[in-house]
Amino acid sequence: MAKSEENSSDVRSARVKLDGLLKDLIKKTEESEDEASSTAGSSVSFQMPPPSTPTKRYGIA
């Protein structure tokens, strides 16, 4: 009987550890989604080509 009691306490402690890890993972996922959405807006501006007006001015002058 003592062996099954040890197993149940091991299972309980493992569940507590997994629950804690799951909560950490959820928190990190939410944080990384926030960072991804904020960097997505700025990365779009980097992909835009430079304005063509300065080259036109040089052509006219």
User: How far is Cα 41 from Cα 23, in angstroms, rounded to an integer?
Assistant: 28
Question: Kind and range of the H or E element at 53?
Answer: helix 53-60
57 has pLDDT over 60 = no
pLDDT, one tens digit per residue, over 28-38 is: 888 887 766 66
pLDDT, one tens digit per residue, over 3-22 is: 666 788 999 999 999 999 99
The pLDDT value given to residue 52? 62
46 has pLDDT over 70 = no
pTM, full prediction = 0.47
